[in-house]
Structure 1
Amino acid sequence: MCAAVYALSALTGYVLTSALLLKCPTFLHRRKRGPFLSKHISHRGGAGENLENTMAAFKHAVDLGTDMLELDCHLTKDGQVVVSHDANLKRATGINARISDITYAELPPYLCKLGVTFQRECFCEGGEDKQIPLLRDIFDAFPNTPVNIDIKVNDDTLIKKVSELVVKYDREHLTVWGNASNQVVKKCYKENPRIPVLFSYPRVLQLLGLFYTGLLPFVPLKEQFLEIPMPSIFFKIQDPNRLTRGQRLIAWLADTLLMRKALFKHLTARGIQVYIWVLNDEDDFQRAFDLGATGVMTDFPTRLKDFMDRKGISKLD
């Protein structure tokens, strides 16, 4: 009987301590000091308004006042760091070739019309700019704009070259990088721990496990940015008539587990920014900010800017 009372008392103390530290994490952890705050993030430069990952897209987003450019990097055969989402050029250029197998000079231009991945039955038709740019082109053109870099392949040389460019352009305080792969994120952190890293997918799962067991307030976190999807958008980008009951259940469960205001509040209190992607509708913008996300990533930077202006959402909020 005494043992049961003791166990219950200990459990109650743990629950109360965990709840307190969830709301006030700075009792245990020093708040991370980020050099920038990004609320408006342009996915691939704004793939719904200009051809994705082109200089025209990035310039349009920066001219609008975007807080951050999101882009993807690969390495060409001759060792150039280029900005492109796909490893294979078939979807974007019509040429069935891998970026790593051809030189930068041989890269074909983008097609005139590309599908917008996160907007069902939507296409973007570009203007004159159809060139795949170099990462250094973006750094040259936008020296003061934060950039979110997705290292698309597990390539030590690519990681090293991206780090060298970031250092050369004095952008360690304006860059965040990573990948869904935990192995890639670990390599990024080892290569240059001064560049903030994103949570990988395995680390997101660990984060959720820590959150739901009450252990999160006690665990240090090296990452400074949580970049996650809003699972409910799955119902918008897929044909609802073709979704199985199982797919609907998985999307609903993932949304319920991941979109947690208490989790976002805890992370932001620790100085970790929370970005939700890729949102293209006003109701999703509103939901993300209501949940406490620090930033929204979108294919339509003009649409998000108009929404934020109307709602009075600024960097200082």
Structure 2
Amino acid sequence: MSSTAAFYLLSTLGGYLVTSFLLLKYPTLLHQRKKQRFLSKHISHRGGAGENLENTMAAFHHAVTVGTDMLELDCHITKDEQVVVSHDGNLKRSTGVNVNISELKYCELPPYLSKLDVPFQRASQTEGKDNRIPLLKEVFEAFPNTPINIDIKVNNNMLIKKVSELVKQYKREHLTVWGNASYEIVEKCYKENSDIPILFSLQRVLLILGLFFTGLLPFVPIREQFFEIPMPSIILKLKEPHTMSRSQKFFIWLSDVLLMRKALFDHLTARGIQVYVWVLNEEHEYKRAFDLGATGVMTDYPTKLKDFLHTFST
């Protein structure tokens, strides 16, 4: 390679790196900042699955009373096309009955067990008296001013259509975000109702990471408004150390290093994209997420997160 060619190559590379770094820090030089209809710092996972039975009206009422900014919940559709709030499609874990929600009419759904495991807190259970699986419309009616994060749990066109219709009926486009880890489900959600903000699918999260580490992210337009990701390190506390291989521990460590990046969070936030980290249940996890620039934390323990935010804001 001649010295002239090398000079042009290095000049081009240098210009790219400088421009990428500048736009990473100041993305509004290229992109218009997204308008945020609401801001959520305190998000209650399944309504707060560590303090009440998950996805129940009792859990949602408690979380809102505590002062949560957002309720996170999961939706399925019954045989008679009712949109219900439940994490599992099969009810064996939560009700003890080995049956699928899609196979039953709403009136036939069994009640939740009186005690359920807290999904992201090892060896912990919660109990409650409200064990009825609610309808999504009940949640909308009870909390007309509370932002709600809806996980569309199955790739079902009717479910997506019905959720969209309910959001329109209750005029909640400005207070709702929906999606799933599945790219196909998120695309269907957006096609069904583009007025409801969407989450990043897993495929899109991986793409964002690739763009970030290659310096291309500042140049790429983004349609989504909510970057909702796990903190990989929490997996280590959910399993007994001796049950995990070295390769598994290394993969978790590497995932955590790659995903938990303050520069990435700050860039997305500057573009008007909210960054939610889930599901965190300990004070040191809350602190780490917010120190990294997360705009919101999703927790099973809304009271604990409230106390943390109060302590660290005073």
- State whether structure 2 residue 35 is matched by structure 1 residue 33: yes
User: What is the Cα deviation at residue 82 of structure 1?
Assistant: 0.1
- State whether structure 2 residue 72 is matched by structure 1 residue 70: yes
Structure 1: where are the runs of 5+ without partners? Answer: none
- C-alpha separation in 2, matches of 1:176 and 1:108: 28
Per-residue Cα deviation, 1:91-141 (whole angstroms, up to 9, x for no partner): 000000000000000000000110011000000111x21000000000000
Q: Percent identity?
A: 69
- C-alpha separation in 2, matches of 1:57 and 1:30: 38
- C-alpha separation in 1, matches of 2:33 and 2:180: 24
Length, aligned pairs only: 312
- State whether structure 2 residue 299 is matched by structure 1 residue 298: yes
- State whether structure 2 residue 52 is matched by structure 1 residue 43: no
Map of 1:159-170 to 2, 5 A cutoff?
Answer: 159-170=160-171
Structure 1 residues 239-248 or 258-267, which shifts more? 239-248
Per-residue Cα deviation, 1:201-257 (whole angstroms, up to 9, x for no partner): 000000000000000000000000000000000111111121110110000000000
Moved over 4 A (4+): none
Aligned AA for 2:240?
D
Aligned AA for 2:120?
F
- C-alpha separation in 1, matches of 2:59 and 2:28: 39
Normalising by structure 2, we get a TM-score of 0.99
- State the partner residue of 1:80: 82
- C-alpha separation in 2, matches of 1:92 and 1:219: 42
The SS at the match of 2:49 is coil
Structure 2: where are the runs of 5+ without partners? Answer: none
- State the partner residue of 1:3: 5
- C-alpha separation in 1, matches of 2:116 and 2:108: 21
User: What is the Cα deviation at residue 88 of structure 1?
Assistant: 0.0
- State the partner residue of 2:280: 279
Per-residue Cα deviation, 1:140-160 (whole angstroms, up to 9, x for no partner): 000000000000000010000
- C-alpha separation in 2, matches of 1:28 and 1:195: 24
- State the partner residue of 1:253: 254
Map of 1:37-186 to 2, 5 A cutoff?
Answer: 37-126=39-128, 128-186=129-187
- C-alpha separation in 1, matches of 2:61 and 2:313: 24
- C-alpha separation in 1, matches of 2:238 and 2:306: 22
RMSD over aligned CA atoms reads 0.6
- C-alpha separation in 2, matches of 1:249 and 1:106: 46
- State whether structure 2 residue 227 is matched by structure 1 residue 226: yes
User: What is the Cα deviation at residue 303 of structure 1?
Assistant: 0.4
- C-alpha separation in 2, matches of 1:114 and 1:236: 19
The SS at the match of 2:53 is coil
The SS at the match of 1:44 is helix
- C-alpha separation in 2, matches of 1:232 and 1:120: 14
Normalising by structure 1, we get a TM-score of 0.98
- C-alpha separation in 1, matches of 2:258 and 2:13: 24
